[in-house]
Structures are given as C-alpha cells and as structure tokens.
Structure 1
Amino acid sequence: MILPISAYVSYKSYSLAIANYHRGSLYVSDEIYYVDTARRYLQEIFHVQVNESMYSNKTNPDYFNLEHPPLGKYIIALSMLLYGDNPLGWRLPSILEAGMIPLILGLAFWAASRRTMLSILIAIAAAAAAAADPILVYAGSLAMLDIHLAFFLSLSLALLVAGRRRPALIAAGLASSVKMSGVAGILAIMLYDLLYGSLRERAKRLSEDILLPLLVYVIVMIPLIAYFGPVDIVRETINALKWHTTSRPPGPPTSTPIGWILNENPFYYSFNPIIEPAVVATSLHALAVASIIPLVILGSTLDRYRTVTVAPFFYIGTLAVYALVWLLGNRTFYSFYAVELTPAMAGIIASILLAGEKVNQYGQGTGSGG
C-alpha cells in the first residue's frame, strides 16, 4: 500500500514540474540560484563540459551559492549531467525524493513494529501523513534545496527508528550538507542519545553525534575546498552563518514556524499556470505538535517505548534550530522551509499508533504471565 502512496506523490510532483516546464518560464522561484550554481560546479569545479543554452548564466559568473553547503547542488548537477540541462532534468531528483519520503518512513515504522496487521496500518499512516502534506508535492516539483534536505532528514529519522544509529548520523550529516538547518537531525539524535545508558556511554555517543556528521560534511566540501582553498571556505562559512542570522530586505511574504503550521502568510512558489503555495496540512501538524510531549514522556520514562521519541525529537530539533536563528537576529523565514517538518510530522502520526501497539503488546505479555 505504501508503494502506491509514494508513486502518487512523485506523479503529482512530476505533473507540476511538467506544468511549469510548459509555462515557458526558465526558472521558478529560487531555482535560478541553485541550478545556475550546479551548472557552474560542473564547468568550473569538476571540469565537465556543459553546452551553453537558454538557461545558462542567469546569475553572476562568480556566484557559487556559498551561503548554502553544496550537496543539493551536486545532486542537481548530476541529474543535469545524466538527463540534460533542462527543467525536467533539474527537477527529476526532487520528484523522486518526494516520492521516496513516504516510502522510507513507512518501511521504517513497519520494521520498528511487531509486523502484524497493525504494523501495516502504522506503515500506511506514516506514508499517508507525509503524502497528505501539500508542501511535499509542491517542493518535490522544483529544483530547490529544501526537498533534498527533507529527504535526508527523512532518511536519518527512518534509520534511527529502525535502530541504525550511525547510518542515521551519516544521513543527518548529509542533510546538514544541503542546508545548515539540517543540523536539526543531529540535534534530534543527540536528544535521543541522552535517554539511556550510563553518563560515560552518553558522553561517548554525544561526541560521536558531533564528529561523524562533521566528517561527512567535510567530505562533501572537499571539491569546494580544493577549488577555493581552505581559508576561503572557512571565511565563506563564517559569512554564511552571518547571512543566515541576519534578516533579509523586504520582499516575499514571511512567517514564523507557528505561522507555517497555521498557513499564515504563505510563500508562493508560483502563480502561473498553477497557484503553488507553500502550505501544510494544519490538522496533521497540530495533532503532531499536541502529541510531542506525551510521546517524549512515555519514551523517556519507559525504555521499551524509546522508539516513539524519535520523530518528536526531529520536530523539536527543527523548531529549535529556527528558534535559535530567530534569537540571533533573522526574522525573515519563508513558509517553504516547512517541508523540513513533514517527515517528523508523519513520523509522529505513526508513533502514536506504534505506542498503542506496544501498550497492547505489553498488556498481552503481562496478562499471559499472570
């Protein structure tokens, strides 16, 4: 059942991508920055010949989008190389990743359950909740960074739910290599690692939580380090941190994370030929937010329920990152960032059912033992 759900998301994203392609506009929203940079990576850093076209050089020749890490642009560049320098070629990874998010979440929660009929329901709930979030389809239709970030956060969450902590850290490192806000995944795993073990074990895990994603980040940065030099990359990283903590000039509509959930003042990717607002399923996110504290209390109190804290920690981690950025001075958040919350929201919906299954399992075990 989760395969049709995933296929549906990719199909809807593909349909929007096609509609934008036939619209005749070269780029939608911020695609201009990421696609032009991806093309420039191929030409300047990897020395791969890309024929000049009507899409080329819409930004300054020395622009490399260094305010964001490079992994998202690598993905766009690889797709451009394989499928052509055209809008569908740029957007294909987004289309595929949007569809894969419900799939990997569903499989992870199925694996974390008892694999009964209720397990199938839990898996479907995870996949369906993700698919029901409108922003997933909209973000999946465009060659922007947020869908790649959401994909790697989904992968990290899914791996941790499945008990694969170190691969989850690697995936969190990859998320951070798309956008700096991907550190939310690292923070989530750190919160999870504080739940159990001796003080020494926790300290050891927390050091690994920092070092392993950092190693991944450095590896991803190697081509840029080789091209610009380590000193320039350190300088640009510091500049990026300053940029991320500074408000933008007046322009597109802005909103807070609470506003994202309530769909207040949403960002619009496009108005023509299809109106594409960056909006979420408010009822599902409201249910997820209301469930965070009970699930965290349950999982932190009783070890057998620990898995149900993973998705809440990913939601908390994402909100905490943006709260910190807000406190540091950036007041211009856009609602399209909310796709980063989609995997955690879907995971929380599945975790509610997973907690119920575990309660039922424990009750049956206690009854048979009496």
Structure 2
Amino acid sequence: MEWKKTLFVLILLASMIGSFWYLYSFASRPVFHNYVSDEVWYVPASRNVLHRLGVELTYINETTGSRGVNIIFANESDDARYGYTVGEIALQYNATRELTYYSFPGLYFEIPPKNFQPFLNALKDTLPKGSYYVVPGFWYPDKENIQNYLNTEHPFLGKDFIMTAMLFGDRPINWRIPSIIAFVLLQPLVALAAYRISRSYLAALIALVFTVADPTLEAMSFVAMLDIYVALFVSLFVFLLAYDRDRWAAFAVGLASATKLSGGFGWPVLFIKALRKEKSLSRFLAVAFLLPITGFLIPNIPAMVAIGPLEWLNQFLGSFRWHLSNKGGSPESSQVWWWFIDKNPFPLHFDPNVFASTDPVLLLSMVVFILALPWLYRRKRGILEPFGVFWFTVLFFLLQYALGGTTQYTFYTTALVPPAAVVMGVALNELLHWEAFTTSLRTYREWFFKAKDRLSSLRG
C-alpha cells in the first residue's frame, strides 16, 4: 500500500505543478494584457475599494518603465474645463502614454517614475481642490460610472483575493494569480475527499482527473472573476464534511457564500447533518447558523470599512432584487438544464478562443447516479453528502430561475464540479468491476510472454 500512496502523492503534485505552470503561462500572454470578460467589473471594484481604504497601487509599464495613474474629474464640466490642461502638464513631465475615457470623466497617463510625484504636485498647484482625484495603477475599462463601482451585488471574498494580489502590482497577471492558485488548491481537496469516502486511491485519482480536465474550472482559473473561488471553498466544504469536521465545514460554507451566494447553496446538507448529530441546541445553532454567518461576514469587512457597515448591509440586501431579475436578452445566457448538455458555453475571449464549457459526462452522470444512490449509500455512506451538495445547489439555481433570475451562465457550474467529481470518483470505483481490468492485464501479459516464447522457438 505504501507504493500506492507514494504514486498517488506524486501524481497529485505533478497535476498541481503542471496546472500552475500551464495556466500562468497562458494567462500572462501579451494578448491578455488587458481586461478579459467580466474582469471589467471585479478588478475596478477591487481597485476602488482599495482607493477608499487609502491604499495606493502601482502599475509599471514593462516596456517604457513608466508608472500608470488615473486622473478622475469630479464631474463632466471639470473634465471639459481642465482635461486639456492636465494633458499639457503630463506632456511637460514626459508622459509616455495617454488615454481618454469617454464613458466617465477621466484621463489615464503613464509617467516616468522620477517625474511621477512632480506631475502630481503640478496638478495640485494648477487645478482647484475638489475638481479631481488621483487613482494610481492600471487603466480603467471605459465603462459608465466604473470609477465609483464597488460590485456590492456580490459578497467580497473573491475581491479580497484580487485586492491582495494588487498590492504586489496592479497588472493583469497579478490579478489572475490567486485564481490559478485556487484551481491548484482545490485539486487535493477534491481528491482527498473522494479518498476519505472510498478509501481508494483509484477513486481519488478519478475525481482528480474530472476536476483537472473540467473545461469550466480551467477557463475560470485564468481570469480574475469570482467563480473559481466559489469552486475552491465548495471543495473545502465538501472535504471537511467528508472528514467529519462539521464546525470547520460550517465556517467553510460561510466562506463559499462570501464569494458568491451560490457557494452557500449546499448549506442544507450541513443543516441536516447538524440536526442529526448535534445533541445540544447550542451546538446545533453554532454549526448550522453561527459559524456559517461568521464565515460569511469576516471577508466582507473591507467593504464595510470602505462604505460603512449599514451602507454595505443596505446594498447587500438590495442586491437580492438584482439577483432575482432578468438582465436582458443576453446571447451568452444558459439556463440550468442547458448546463447538463453544454448548451451555449460562455465566451471569455476570442482569438484565442476561451469558453466556459461544461462537462456533460460529469453532469449527466449525476443524473444517472440517482438510480444507483441507495446501493452506493449502503456501500459508501459518505457519498450522500457531496451528492446532496450537488443537487441542493442545482435546486437553488432552479429556484433562482423560478423567482425571476432567469439570466444564468455556464460558468456558474463551478459550484457543481467539486461535489460532482467526488461523487464520480467514488461511484465509478464502486460500480465498475475493476477486477475485469486487472484480470485482463494479467491475461495480456501471459499472451505476450507466450507469443515471445513461440517466436523464440520458431527462430530456434
């Protein structure tokens, strides 16, 4: 058994290292040195929160060595009145790049580092106080009101990771490194959860393969969006449930929902488990409610500090109307039942083409396994928890659709992949008769040596 454990660890490490190397190389390609897909919302929101917290970011153009800075005017009239003057001052300080924003009042410049502070001082001496403010860092996407956007319709944990990465440099590859790390870390969580339930390294490797090869997870791990973090913390939730660490699992489902509310759709599994196991009311309330709420609130503290706890709460509660509304006739939308057949994958980038496609084999297998669930449950009782997380998540997405949130996308399936991969690993290991393969391999080996002996005798 020791050699199996060693081989499993080596395969797992190779998968993690290989994934990081491939995704980092892909995400850092020059063609992606800009906002990709919905990064236009999450990255500026992260930058804006850091600005409100008084954090000054840095972007250095690797070609020119100049430092990026956004000059945001208080209103359109100030932009019209002072924009030309600001441009002239920037030229005096040897600006190497200038961008004009048309959807909001602002300009972007790249200034040589030695001239950066003198440039800001010149602006301060020339323009009236309150007519503008400065946001150092990467340029903004040219979107209406993006300079004020905080993305409060979603919780903040995913943006916490983006903000942390920005502290090391406000540039595209830095925004995406946490996403890549999230994809790498969820691999052992899924594999070890499958191993814990099945006590089989083969089941763990099956779960690992379906995780690493999943096209949705792979696509979402190279962009600075929120959904790969949903997958990470759902994986952590499933992992802790498998190891009967219910209190930590309670905190983990709070973290999952603190990334996107869909991350908490598997919470009923925890509630049912706590209802069955906990003997005292206080322990039940702690596991079922207090710890998940704590896990949800802590990552939202930066947003609370930035805009105030009451304003954050008002905006968060107000976001439910947005979540339960139709966002218009989006050509990229894909309803829940379409996910199972990979209908209408979500495009993230063209040339090269990157789509958030689902894995119909994985998702449709979860439908088939409903027929075998009682038999599987008798053999491996732990399979019920990831199975429940998967189907409760599907049911809540269906409920969201029924209540009016009909604009859904294939990349939402990141919340479904980890529990489905765990179930797939355990179920296939139980349902398939692996002795058929081992016996066949021994037979092939016997045939090979018989053929070899026969050829040797003929030559003799």
Corresponding residue number in structure 2 for 1:316? 391
- Indicate yes or no: 2:426 matched with 1:351: yes
Aligned partner of 2:181 in structure 1 is 96
For 2:321 and 2:420, how far apart are their aligned partners in 1? 30
Q: 1:186 to 1:296 in 2, by over 3 A?
A: farther
Give the counterpart of 1:186 among 241, 248, 267: 267
Q: Which runs of 5+ in 2 are unaligned?
A: 1-10, 59-67, 70-107, 109-137, 433-460
Q: State the shift of 1:316 in Å.
A: 0.9
Partner Cα distance (1:38, 1:95) in 2? 18
Picking from 328, 335, 343, the partner of 1:249 is 328
Aligned-partner Cα distance in 1 for 2:188–2:47: 30
1:220 corresponds to: 299
Q: Which residue of 2 aligns with 1:13?
A: 23
Deviation at 1:305, TM superposition (A): 3.5
TM-score computed with the length of structure 2 as normaliser = 0.69
Contact 2:33 2:172 in 1 (8 A): no
Paired residue for 1:170? 251
Amino acid of the residue matched to residue 327 of structure 1?
Answer: A
Please give the alpha-carbon distance, in whole angstroms, between the structure 2 residues aligned to 1:205 and 1:351: 29
Partner of 2:5: none
What's the secondary structure of 2:244's corresponding residue? coil
Give TM-score scaled by structure 1 length: 0.85
Q: CA shift at 1:166, angstroms? A: 1.2
Q: Distance in 2 between matches of 1:327 and 1:192?
A: 27
The residue correspondences of 1:123-134 to structure 2 (distance < 5 A) are 123-134=204-215
Tell whether 2:139 aligns with 1:56.
yes
Alignment partner, residue 48 of structure 2:
40
CA distance in 2, matches of 1:147, 1:74: 13
- Identify, as 1 or 2, the structure richer in strand: 2
How far residue 283 of structure 1 moved from its aligned partner, in angstroms, is 1.2
How many Å apart are 1:188 and its aligned residue?
A: 3.1
Alpha-carbon spacing, 1:74–1:163, altered in 2? closer, same or farther (3 Å) = same
Give, in angstroms, the shift of residue 203 of structure 1: 9.4
Q: How far is the alpha carbon of 1:173 from its aligned partner?
A: 0.6
CA drift of 1:204 comes to: 5.4
Q: Secondary structure at the match of 1:61?
A: helix
1:148 CA drift (Å) = 0.7
Q: How many residues align?
A: 344
The verdict on how the C-alpha distance between 1:294 and 1:102 changes in structure 2, with shifts beyond 3 A counting, is: same
The residue identity in structure 2 corresponding to 1:172 is V
8 Å CA contact 1:148, 1:175 repeated in 2: yes
Which residue of the partner structure matches residue 307 of structure 1?
A: 382
Q: CA RMSD in A?
A: 2.5
Which deviations, in whole Å up to 9, do the C-alpha atoms of 1:315-355 show, x marking residues without a partner? 11211221111111111101111122110110111221565
CA contact (8 A) 1:269 1:276 kept: yes
Deviation at 1:111, TM superposition (A): 3.5
Rounded Cα–Cα distance in structure 2 between residues aligned with 1:81 and 1:296: 50
Q: Per the alignment, do residues 276 and 296 of structure 1 end up closer, same or farther by CA in structure 2, a change over 3 Å counting?
A: farther
- Asked whether the equivalents of residues 44 and 147 of structure 2 are also in contact (C-alpha less than 8 Å), the reply is no
Tell me, in whole angstroms, the C-alpha distance in 1 between the residues paired with 2:14 and 2:221. Answer: 17
Structure 1 SS opposite 2:268: helix
Shift of 1:230: 2.8
2:55 and 2:153 map into 1 onto residues whose CA distance is 23
Equivalent residue in structure 2 for 1:231, among 295, 305, 310: 310
State which drifts further: 259-268 or 289-298. Answer: 289-298
Compare 165-174 and 52-61 and name the one that shifted more.
Answer: 52-61
Distance 1:350 1:203, change over 3 A: farther
Structure 1 stretch displaced more, 54-63 or 94-103 = 54-63
CA gap of 1:27–1:252, structure 2 versus 1, over 3 A, is: farther
**Against the structure 1 CA distance between its residues 284 and 110, is the aligned structure 2 distance closer, same or farther, given a 3 Å change threshold?**
same
Given the alignment of the two structures, is residue 279 of structure 1 paired with residue 357 of structure 2, yes or no? Answer: yes
**Which deviates further from its counterpart, 67-76 or 343-352?**
343-352
- Output the amino acid matched with 1:270: H
1:29 maps to 37
What's the % identity of the aligned pairs?
31
The 3-state SS of whatever aligns with 1:288 is helix
Match of 2:443 in 1: none
Residue 210 (str. 1) matches residue 289 (str. 2): yes
More helix by share: 1
Give the match for residue 145 of structure 1: 226
Distance (Å, rounded) in 2 between the aligned partners of 1:213 and 1:293: 32
Task: Tell me the equivalent position of 1:78.
Answer: 164
Q: Distance in 2 between matches of 1:229 and 1:36?
A: 19
Deviation at 1:6, TM superposition (A): 2.7
